[in-house]
Structure 1
Amino acid sequence: MLTASVVASAGTALAAIPSPDRGVWHLGPIPIRAYALCIVAGIAVALWWGEKRLVARGGRPGTVLDVAVWAVPFGLLGGRLYHVATDWRTYFGPGGDPWGALEIWNGGLGIWGAVALGGVGAWIGCRRLGVPLPVFADAVAPGIIVAQAIGRLGNWFNQELYGGPTTLPWGLEIYRRVDPATGLEDPIGGVVLDPTPIAVVHPTFLYELLWNLAVAVVVVLADRWFRLGHGRAFAVYVAGYTLGRFFIELMRTDPATRVFGDLRINVVVSVVVFLAAVVYLVVAPRGREDFQQADPDPDPGPAEAGSEPPPDAGPTRDGEPTGDPVRREDA
């Protein structure tokens, strides 16, 4: 029978969420970064689900992957540019590290920049493949928000994107990480040598992860019930995500660029993007557009190349078919 002290100890142990002891493992000289793995896993899920949804809407298999060749690099670049632009003091301010702006593997992707520039890449890919961008956007919308949820696990490994102190049972334990070789503090690449938490905080990364999954469910159900088209499923995703991000951003305590006095810039951007998504939902056409992606043009055969008319093309005059049927007695 468990004693009261054992039960109390177990309750204390379960009263917080531990952070991983590290976010980077080394395979020989090669660093394996949890943040990067989470981003890759999220992209894979988004591609798989988006492919299924686009094919169901009339697209050809393989189209999502072909568009992703353009959209993913553009999205990663846009996400990094937004992060650096809104946190420029970290890299270009006093004591900053300009080269750190290129170190995407250490975290730092702004979703607004990723969606904006990723949309440009998607538009290029869609034009090349004959797919209307709104159709493509509606197909990939729930996959994108799930990818964002998976990406938030990378923030857990990096011990970032958390809120203020809390005594709630799901508080997140933050540890001091150091470089084992030097003993110097290294929050991203270091390891935990002392398992005593230095803080217990709101796991805002987890709040956003759960919110994102809920938004994905809303997008799928709304799309099924109301047959959303013309980019409206994507607008539901944007509106739902920004609504949650507004409140979660207010809980965060990590350093951030502030505007209009003391507002975090992502709070302001959330409001602006939310309003834009709602306006789009109101003015966009209702219903779902008819779409059937055309098959790629086959290579021209000998007849199409103008070599010779086919044997049953009928009589010819001056080398051109007359269109008259072939009579067997004349053949």
Structure 2
Amino acid sequence: MTLAALPSPTTAVWHLGPIPIRAHALCLIAGIALAVWMTDRRLQARGHRAGLAADLAVWAVPIGIVGARVYHLITSPQAYFGENGDPIRALYIWEGGISIWGAVAGGALGTWIAARRLGVPLSDVADAVAPALPVAQAVGRLGNWFNNEVYGLLTTLPWGLEIHDMSTGRLLPGLYHPVFLYEALWNLGVAALVWWLDRRRRFTRGRAFALYVMGYTAGRLWIELLRADEANTIFGVRVNVFTTVVLFVLALVYFVRTRPKSESVLAGHPGV
């Protein structure tokens, strides 16, 4: 063991009798709960009733989980539908294999459905959830540490990460970029930026959400290029790199085109 290295756990599952308790699932649940609380505070600051975020989450969370899995299956189908693949394992979500892109898309669909049923403007919800989403993502990324996944290329930096083969518990040779940690820290910075600018500018029409998308994708681009795990590519470039660039451009165009003339002189508003 190198003294300067970041350690990684050798187990990510504990058992409460016959029930497996998975660290990654706990991190995801904690992130979702924190995001719901933050969003509810921000919705209340915009004049909506308490508890609205939880009502929206009833639709957004399960559809977001489905979306996260579907995106993974579309972009990495070989283990399930390729040669020697096992299609039934496509249902084994507890084995891992979810994507933030699918989660956000599915969550957005679920939120749209819930907002229509509850009579809430979708733009209000989008702006309220904007700083909460990257916080939830940061907490969820801790689950990758337990799973010894989402690591990067080999590095000699003092914060290089030790990685275990989780099937054997054996330590892999060398140290790796802890890209899950890079993304978690970046996400917290994006959350702080969105929250601060929103207090100053009072974003409306989903512009705070567009700012979140721009901030997240800007970081995800360089982080994605550091990743060493297997992924499908187009012209030798990871599929998620193309997704990142497209989403950044779309968010930027929306943010610029919807900028109101009076935005720069609006005062801040209370709320988290």
Give TM-score scaled by structure 2 length.
0.93
8 Å CA contact retained: 2:147, 2:166: no
Quote how far apart the aligned CAs of 1:210 are: 0.5
CA distance in 1, matches of 2:7, 2:84: 32
Aligned to 2:142: 153
8 Å CA contact retained: 2:148, 2:166: no
Aligned to 1:325: none
Aligned to 1:85: 74
8 Å CA contact retained: 1:175, 1:199: no
Structure 1 unaligned regions, length at least 5: 1-8, 179-184, 186-191, 289-331
Structure 2 unaligned regions, length at least 5: 267-272
8 Å CA contact retained: 2:151, 2:179: yes
Which structure has more RCO (C-alpha within 8 Å, separation ≥ 6)?
2
TM superposition outliers: structure 1 runs of 4+ over 6 Å: none
8 Å CA contact retained: 2:63, 2:110: yes
Quote how far apart the aligned CAs of 1:63 are: 0.8
Structure 1 segment 47-58 matched on structure 2, within 5 A: 47-58=36-47
Aligned to 1:26: 15
CA distance in 2, matches of 1:103, 1:203: 26
Q: Structure 1 residue 267 and structure 2 residue 241: aligned?
A: yes
Kindly provide the CA deviation profile for residues 258-290 of structure 1, in whole angstroms up to 9, marking residues without a partner as x: 01x1000000000000000000101114248xx
SS at match of 1:251: coil
Taking only aligned residues, the RMSD between alpha carbons, in angstroms, comes to 1.5
CA distance in 2, matches of 1:255, 1:82: 16
Within the candidate set 52, 60, 65, 1:71 is matched to 60
Kindly provide the CA deviation profile for residues 106-151 of structure 1, in whole angstroms up to 9, marking residues without a partner as x: 2222111111121111011111212100110100111111111111
Aligned to 1:162: 151
SS at match of 1:26: strand
User: Which one has the bigger helix percentage?
Assistant: 2
Aligned to 1:256: 231
Quote how far apart the aligned CAs of 1:97 are: 2.6
What is the identity percentage for the equivalent residue pairs of Structure 1 and Structure 2? Answer: 57
Kindly provide the CA deviation profile for residues 1-55 of structure 1, in whole angstroms up to 9, marking residues without a partner as x: xxxxxxxx9xx42x11010111111111111100111110110000000000000
Aligned length: 262
Structure 1 segment 192-207 matched on structure 2, within 5 A: 192=169, 196-207=171-182
SS at match of 1:171: coil
Quote how far apart the aligned CAs of 1:197 are: 4.4
Q: Single out whichever of 139-148 and 268-277 deviates more from structure 2.
A: 139-148
SS at match of 1:198: coil
Q: Single out whichever of 88-97 and 154-163 deviates more from structure 2.
A: 88-97
